[in-house]
Structures are given as C-alpha cells and as structure tokens.
Homo-oligomer: A and B are copies of this chain.
Amino acid sequence: MTLPFAARMQGAKRSFIREILKVTADPEVISFAGGLPNPATFPVQEVAAAATKVLAENGAAALQYSTTEGYPPLREWIAARYKTRKGITVDPDDILITTGSQQALDLAAKVFLDQGDPLVLEKPGYLGAIQAFALFRPGWRPTPLEEDGPDLAALERHLDGAKLFYAVTSFQNPSGLSYSKAKREAVAGLLDRFGTFFLEDDPYGELRFAGEDLPPVYSWRPENSVLLGTFSKIAAPGFRLGWMVAKGEIKERLVIAKQAADLHTGSLDQMVVWRFLVDNDFEAHIARSREAYRVQCEAMQAACAEFLPPEVRVTRPEGGMFLWAEMPAGANSVELLQKAVACKVAFVPGEAFYVDGTGGNTLRLNFSNSNPDRIREGMQRLGECMRQCLDGKRSA
C-alpha cells in the first residue's frame, strides 16, 4: 500500500538541531547546539510547593478539562506583567494561553497562511517558525538582519504585497541580535504603510542583561499585530506554556484553531505556574536568571576573542541565549561540525536558519546551557577546529 501522505509533508524534515542533540547526549561533548535554558535557573522547589498547594486546594479543577483561552488568573498575571515591565496595557481577555510558543506559530500559520502567501521573515530566521510555517507552504521572503534590526530597504521591498511579517525582535534566535528603538519605530511605520499583519515573537525579552529595555513593535500597532510570549525562559520549558496577545476577530479565530489543535493547554501546568509566580519573588527569580546568562554570555564572548580566528565575526547580544558566528564566505559550518563533534564540541550549523540555501558559513552558539569553564574549554576546541577548516580552505 502506498502511504497516502499529504503534499505538505514532501520535503518536511526533522529539526537538524534535535538530531544533533542526540549526538550531544554523550556527557563528554560540550554542546553549544541546543537552545536549553540553564537548569540551575529552574525553580524546582518552588514548583514542587506550588504543585502540592494547587492539588491540595483545587485538585479536581487542576486535573479536569478547562477553557481553551486558558486559566484566567494566569492571563491576568501576564497582562499585569506587560504593564509593569513594558508599560503596555493588555486586556487579559486578549491573551490566549498556548502549549509553548511553538504552538502559537502553528496556530498563526493555520489562521493566516494560504499556500503561496508571501511571508516576510528574518534572514537568518527562527528554525521552529520555519518548520511550523513550512507545512502551510508560504512564499518565503527572507529579509537580512543587520546589527540593529532588519535591512529596511529590503524590508520595504518585501512588505509590498506580503501577507505577514514574522520577527523575533529581541535577542533573536539564532543571531542574538535585537532591533534598536529607531528600527522598531521604522518597522512599525513600514508595516502600517503596507498594511501588513505582524507576528512578533518575544521569547527572550525578559532575559536582557545589558542595554536599555525596549517596547515590542506590537505596542506601536496592537490592532494589526499578534505578540507571542512564553514561560519557557522565565519559569521552565518543561511546562510547555506560552501565550499570544491578539484582539477581537483575530483572537476568536486563534481560539477556534486552538480548540482543534489540543482543546486547551494543561490545567495543572497553568495553575502550578501561576501559583509559583504569585507565591514567590518573581523579580528576584528573573534577576538571577539574567545574571546567570550575563556571566555565561561574557564567558563565551571572551573565549571567542581568545580562541576564534580573527576573521570570524561574532555578534554581541544584550540578552537571550545565543551568539552567532560568521566565518569568511566559502567556509562551511557543516564540515566544521563534523570536525567539532570528533573534538567533542557541538553547535548548530547556520544553514538550517536560511530558507534560501545560503548561510553555509554561519553557526549558532548557545551559551545558556554550559558553565563558564566548559564554555572556555569548548570554545578552545571549536577555535582549533575552525582554524583547521579555514587553513585548509586557504591552502586548497
């Protein structure tokens, strides 16, 4: 019997990153490959206390079906946090709890994308979004990222006739880059001019350890944008808890798509995370995470300066979990990875983040899941492998 797969599954691949993660199960491998938060930041005891309390006080509700929109107190917490942290007024009714922000990408794709619809995204772009969108077969319009945000001339060309612009505006995955205040304003202006719908993904916004906090582009045009957030980086990813901020008709459609996708996000998870948030000093918790990431990022930047060949360019993130390295044109990071794995160090080759087949000379380095000593050791190994690759290139 021929298997009756849908056309959308042609060419759909497993995440290269998740395949690499299998190699890195070897504890001797120093892995900069995954996007794992530092587990030392996980509030394990606080979560245990929250779970005990929720089940004792409200066990039947925590284990029962619940509403598609999500647990009201958690939605209220998120709205209040936008007010205190970003100065944005968000109605709790405009928040839809999702099963991680990955689900938000799937729901947005379902609600907005017809096959062939022009979709503007960053270049490099977030792999999870590329995977979610790819199943709905849009027309990709990858738009180069610069140090302070997208190349505005390219963005202007690409927005003309586009259906949607998807972007990670702070400490982007994979590049670590953030939009400056000026570029946020300029992007909002261009989106308004072309009447393009905006999907803004902000998983790392709370993880700023340097520079000035900036509002999401969403805040310039909430009516024609959807803003995504997640508890994966501010509580823990194992809950699979994210959210979307969306208004009116858009939110209604997202709720319909969410019902069809999984009815609702776990009741117990939502109640436990809410309990954790309100029973503990969240500011102190998130401050500890930021500090841990600052130290790890600085260790990686120092090691880049010390060990990487000088012709390799590296970004300088002000938050988040990733650095981005660019080798000279012609170098190949998949070849580099083969050498690197033999030397017990891993990373993600950058080409996975490009929908146009370019980016072969780039790589993503995660700093959040190794301590500074391991970061230094791993970068020393990686620098040696890079030198061999680039020397081989020159002598070839």
Contact = CB atoms under 8 A, between A and B. Distances in A.
Chain B CB count within 10 A is highest, among A6, A134, A223, A224, for A6
A3 interface: yes
Interface in A247-297: 249-250, 252-253, 255-257, 259-269
Nearest to A105: B260
Contact of A59 (B15, B36, B42, B237): B42
A139 to B, nearest CB: 14
Interface in A90-106: 99-100, 102-103, 105-106
Interface of A: 1-9, 12-15, 18, 34-37, 39, 42, 44-45, 47-48, 51-52, 55-56, 59-68, 99-100, 102-103, 105-106, 110-114, 117, 128, 131-132, 134-136, 163-164, 195, 197, 223-224, 232, 236-240, 249-250, 252-253, 255-257, 259-269
Contacts of A238: 61-66, 266-268
Given A131-B259, A262-B240, A268-B238, A48 B52 contact: yes
A contact patch SS:
helix
A195 B1 CA distance: 6
A14 B260 CA distance: 9
Contact of A64 (B14, B56, B135, B236): B236
A265 B59 CA distance: 21
A5 B56 contact: no
7 contacts: A4-B163, A48-B51, A63-B238, A65-B237, A99-B240, A102-B260, A268-B269
A12 B253 contact: yes
Contacts of A260: 12, 102, 105-106, 128, 131-132, 134-135
Given A47-B63, A51-B55, A240-B99, A128 B263 contact: yes
Given A195-B1, A237-B65, A56 B51 contact: no
Contacts of A262: 99-100, 102-103, 106, 240, 262
A237 B18 contact: no
Contacts of A240: 99, 262-266
Closest 10 CB pairs of A and B: A44-B59, A63-B236, A238-B267, A39-B60, A48-B55, A63-B238, A51-B51, A131-B260, A42-B63, A103-B262
